[in-house]
């Protein structure tokens, strides 16, 4: 049996069980072996008095008497099995399993696995797993037992046996790390690691297994990023830049650049002068002025005989960037077009023809610009906005259309250095750490539902001043989570404040309806926009002075900071009110932190530490494979040494050596999913 074999080849897995395993994403033997436990159970034998309601324990005992059946008021059938642990009396308690009483006889020796509670002075082991054992034939039990994520119809006992059988029956677990790396970093073998991650010999061996598998995950990822980086950069620069004069561009701006913007533009010019292609991420906090930096990069590309492409994650943002870039560039004779869904066929054909001929200098758009029929005359500068919404694949598609293009990635989501090292290890990183003068700090408050009327009356007062308001909800429609939703709140506010022009916006609306509502908000026909987080990034409404976030505890700090960035985009005094009645101390601490901090990088670091990388990133990234064991906060030291190792392996060409053959093959498989 091999890693690629189907799970039906494992002893004890028939069609019905295979279907249940499929629900957990388990289809092959490899999937079984890399379906890691979420926790472990210490099976050191305990007395009933050592048990608790919080933690599962293992209790050897003897059945004292016949089982007794009772019925609760709710008609639940309860079976009580009297047991004795050599010191204390107790009961094993089973619910709605009347047949189970026939399984036990007086004098049976049992191992009960479960939680213990005290009930009128008696110990009760609630719904335990159980095993019989004989005095002359003692039971062999793992000292540490894995606890797996489950699906309905599949028990821990069954899943443990499936994993155990897979480990026994697998013909070979290929070692993918060369011997020199295993020795240098004092790692155990892959086979030993997989055996001990599922059924540890000891807690020390469990830790060594985790270390080995985390090392493997991080090394494969860093190698993949290094290879992709090399692919993007290319060996030598093909597009030669000779004109670096940006004074004509700067002279037409109605403002002067900040020191942060000037420094990043310096980084870009250095890249364009170097012998390798640019591959740079520009990070900037909310409102730090990234679009003008993009405008300068596009200006330089066109002035050096190349075309530029700017790809945004949504049509709303694409239109906004199109308007801004057109304003910056058209003054200099640079033709800017926008390509998006829903434009008339004749207009689309005209744009495609102009791009192909080279008469359009800069194209702005969404994923529409990576479609097959889009061809460029000489695409030399690719800019993507909000990188984490695209991922590597989409970036590659756009680059394939280019003439060895330089790449600039813009992100308004400040990402802590530790996380940026992993997610963007294929990019050089620049940070705009200054904000244009005149930008106001947004006063932030946390309020409970008892303040709701005052908060929404304040909303009405802001509208009376000629200002606009965002109201953000975590859900689109009525739900079981008992959280505010856009549709109900929108209807309620229209009823309570009939004089206000209130619009509703969410991701489930048709594209035309979304565009219409947003345009009405931008043109001030709509005064209050009740929306989901579709407004999180980039939407620029200078007259918006208030954002109210419902059920604020359901959002991460970095996301709330992004939402707060929708207001305070002019010299008008602005406010952010976070509504929450959460009693969770961690959630309250996060919201209070936002009241005092306005630094996006500080906030995202705190968010990462408090919620962990999985929740910080939200849904699984497009183009990044998921870490099963690695934790980017906890494993930062290992991450730094692995990044150096990955650079050494790629720069010295070790992947071509025979002893690195298995690592190279595994890496090729990983790169396929990036």
Task: For residue range 71-112, list pLDDT tens digits in order.
Answer: 887 788 999 999 999 999 999 999 998 899 999 999 999 989
What percent of the chain is predicted at pLDDT more than 90?
48
Q: Span 293-321, mean pLDDT?
A: 91
Q: Is pLDDT of 619 > 60?
A: no
**pLDDT score of 669 more than 70:** yes
| Paired tokens of 623 | 């183009």
Burial class (CB in 10 A: 0-12, 13-18, 19+), 362: buried
Residues ≥6 apart with Cβ < 8 Å to 295: 249, 324, 325, 328, 329
DSSP state at residue 475: B
Does the pLDDT value for residue 517 go beyond 80? yes
Ramachandran class of 358: left when φ > 0, alpha when ψ lies in -120 to 50, beta otherwise? left
- The C-alpha atoms of residue 301 and residue 362 are separated, in whole angstroms, by 9
Contact partners, residue 520, CB within 8 Å, separation at least 6: 503, 526
15-60 pLDDT, tens digit per residue, is: 999 999 999 989 999 999 999 999 898 888 899 999 998 888 899 9
Q: What is the spatial distance between Cα 650 and Cα 639, in angstroms, rounded to a whole number?
A: 16
Q: Would you call 471 helix, strand, or coil by DSSP? A: strand
DSSP annotation of 293 reads H
Mean pLDDT of 215-228: 86
CA distances for 504 relative to 150, 231, 317, 535, 671, angstroms:
39, 44, 18, 11, 41
Closest CA to 311 of 410, 403, 414: 410
Structural domains of the chain, ranges and CATH numbers in brackets? 1-41+156-172 (1.10.150.20), 44-141 (2.40.50.140), 174-438+602-674 (3.40.50.300), 443-597 (3.40.50.300)
**Any idea which residue has 């993918």 for tokens?**
176
* pLDDT tens digits, one per residue of 331-386: 999 999 999 877 889 999 999 999 999 999 999 998 788 777 889 999 999 998 76
Buried b (16+ CB within 10 A) or exposed e, 586-601: ebeebbebbeeebebb
| Helix or strand (DSSP H, E) at 172 | none
Using pLDDT thresholds of 50, 70 and 90, give the confidence band for residue 426: low
Count CA atoms closer than 13 A to 110's CA, side-chain side.
27
Residue written as token pair 């408090």: 610
If one compares 607 and 492, the residue with the highest pLDDT of the two is 492
Q: How confident is the model at residue 615 (pLDDT cuts 50, 70, 90)?
A: low
Confidence check: pLDDT of 618 > 50: no
With 0-12 / 13-18 / 19 or more C-beta atoms within 10 angstroms meaning exposed / middle / buried, residue 467 is: buried
Q: Residue 551 corresponds to which tokens in the numbers above?
A: 């059920």
Q: Cα–Cα distance between 280 and 384 in angstroms, integer? A: 11
Cβ atoms < 10 Å from Cβ of 141: 14
CA-CA distance, 537 to 622, in Å (whole number)?
17
What does the CA dihedral 584, 587, 590, 596 come to, rounded to 10 degrees?
-70
What is the rounded CA–CA span in Å between residue 341 and residue 251?
A: 35
277 vs 440, which has greater pLDDT? Answer: 277
Whole-angstrom Cα distance, residue 372 to residue 320? 25
For β-strands 122-133 and 89-95, DSSP reports them as parallel
**Could you give the CA distance from residue 268 to residue 246 in angstroms, rounded to a whole number?**
12
Would you put residue 546 in left (φ > 0), alpha (ψ -120 to 50) or beta? beta
Count the neighbouring beta carbons within 10 Å of the beta carbon of residue 564: 23
555 versus 247: the higher-pLDDT residue is: 247
User: What is the predicted pLDDT for the residue at 389?
Assistant: 47
Predicted confidence at residue 621, as pLDDT, reads 40
Mean confidence (pLDDT) of the chain: 86
| Buried-state track 500-530, b at ≥16 Cβ within 10 A, e below 16 | bbbbbbbeebeeeebbebbebbbeeebbbbb
Residue 601 has pLDDT above 90, yes or no: no
Q: Residue for token digits 């994403």?
A: 25
User: What distance in Å separates the CA atoms of residue 232 and residue 241, rounded to the nearest whole number?
Assistant: 18
Q: Mean pLDDT throughout 501-506?
A: 92
The dihedral sign for the CA sequence 230, 235, 236, 239: negative
CB-based burial label for 66 (10 Å; 0-12, 13-18, 19+): exposed
Does an H or E element contain 255, and which?
none
Q: Round to whole Å and give the CA distance between 536 and 532.
A: 8
Position of tokens 């005149």?
438
Q: 381-415: per-residue pLDDT in tens? A: 999 876 544 455 666 676 777 778 888 988 877 77
Give pLDDT, residue 623: 41
This prediction's pTM: 0.68
- SS3 label, residue 541: coil
Residue 480 pLDDT level (bands cut at 50, 70, 90)? low
Q: Give the angle subtended at the CA of 566 by the CAs of 563 and 568, to the nearest 5°.
A: 125
């Amino acid at each position: 049996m091999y890693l690629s074999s189907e799970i039906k080849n494992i002893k004890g897995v028939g069609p019905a069980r295979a279907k249940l395993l499929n629900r957990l994403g388990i289809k092959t033997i490899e999937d079984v072996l890399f379906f890691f436990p979420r926790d472990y159970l210490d099976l050191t034998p305990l007395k009933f008095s050592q048990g608790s309601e919080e933690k599962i324990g293992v209790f050897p005992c003897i059945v004292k008497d016949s089982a007794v059946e009772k019925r609760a008021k709710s008609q639940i059938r309860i079976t009580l099995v009297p047991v004795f642990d050599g010191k204390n009396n107790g009961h094993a308690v089973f619910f709605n399993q009347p047949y189970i009483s026939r399984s036990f006889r007086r004098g049976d020796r049992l191992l009960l696995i479960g939680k213990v509670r005290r009930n009128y002075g008696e110990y009760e082991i609630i719904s335990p797993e159980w095993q019989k054992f004989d005095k002359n034939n003692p039971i062999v039990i793992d000292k540490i037992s894995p606890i797996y994520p489950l699906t309905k119809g599949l028990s821990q006992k069954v899943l443990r046996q499936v994993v155990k059988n897979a480990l026994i029956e697998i013909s070979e677990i290929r070692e993918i790390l060369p011997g020199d790396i295993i020795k240098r970093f004092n790692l155990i073998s892959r086979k030993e690691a997989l055996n001990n991650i599922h059924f540890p010999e000891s807690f020390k061996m469990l830790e060594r297994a985790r270390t080995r598998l985390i090392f493997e995950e991080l090394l494969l990822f860093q190698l993949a990023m290094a290879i992709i980086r090399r692919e993007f950069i290319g060996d030598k620069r093909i597009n030669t830049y000779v004109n670096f004069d940006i004074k004509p561009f700067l002279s037409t701006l109605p403002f002067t650049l900040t020191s942060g913007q000037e420094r990043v533009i310096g980084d870009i010019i250095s890249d364009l002068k170097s012998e390798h292609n640019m591959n740079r991420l520009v990070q900037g906090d909310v409102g730090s002025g990234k679009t003008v930096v993009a405008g300068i990069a596009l200006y330089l590309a066109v002035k050096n005989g190349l075309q530029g492409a700017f790809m945004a994650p949504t049509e709303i943002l694409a239109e906004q960037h199109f308007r801004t870039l057109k304003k910056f560039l058209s003054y200099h004779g640079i033709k800017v077009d926008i390509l998006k869904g829903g434009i008339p066929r004749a207009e689309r054909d005209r744009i495609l023809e102009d791009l192909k001929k080279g008469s359009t200098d800069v194209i702005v758009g969404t994923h529409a610009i990576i479609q097959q029929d889009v061809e460029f005359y000489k695409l030399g500068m690719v800019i993507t906005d909000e990188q984490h919404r695209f991922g590597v694949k989409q970036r590659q598609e756009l680059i394939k259309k280019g003439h060895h293009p330089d790449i600039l990635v813009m992100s308004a989501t400040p990402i802590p250095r530790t996380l940026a090292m992993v997610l963007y290890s294929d990019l050089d990183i620049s940070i705009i750490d200054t904000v244009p003068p005149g930008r106001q700090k947004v006063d932030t408050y946390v309020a409970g539902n008892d303040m709701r009327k005052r908060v929404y009356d304040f909303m009405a007062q802001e509208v009376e001043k000629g200002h606009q308001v965002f109201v953000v909800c975590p859900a689109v429609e009525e739900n079981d989570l008992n959280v505010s939703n856009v549709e109900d709140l929108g209807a309620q506010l229209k009823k309570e404040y009939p004089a206000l022009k209130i619009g509703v916006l969410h991701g489930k609306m048709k594209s035309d309806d979304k565009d219409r509502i947003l345009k009405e908000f931008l043109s001030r026909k709509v005064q209050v926009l009740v929306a989901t987080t579709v407004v999180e990034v980039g939407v620029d409404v200078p007259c918006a002075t208030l954002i109210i976030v419902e059920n604020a505890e359901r959002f991460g700090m970095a996301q709330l900071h992004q939402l707060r960035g929708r207001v305070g985009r002019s010299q008008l005094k602005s406010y952010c009110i976070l509504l929450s009645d959460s009693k969770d101390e961690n959630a309250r601490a996060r919201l209070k932190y936002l009241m005092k901090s306005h630094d996006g990088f500080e906030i995202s670091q705190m968010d990462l530490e408090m919620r962990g990388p999985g929740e910080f990133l939200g849904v699984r990234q497009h183009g990044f494979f998921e870490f099963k064991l690695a934790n980017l906060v906890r494993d930062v030291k290992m991450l730094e040494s692995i990044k150096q190792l990955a650079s050494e392996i790629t720069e010295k060409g070790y992947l071509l050596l025979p002893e690195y053959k298995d690592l190279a093959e595994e890496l090729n498989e990983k790169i396929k999913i990036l």
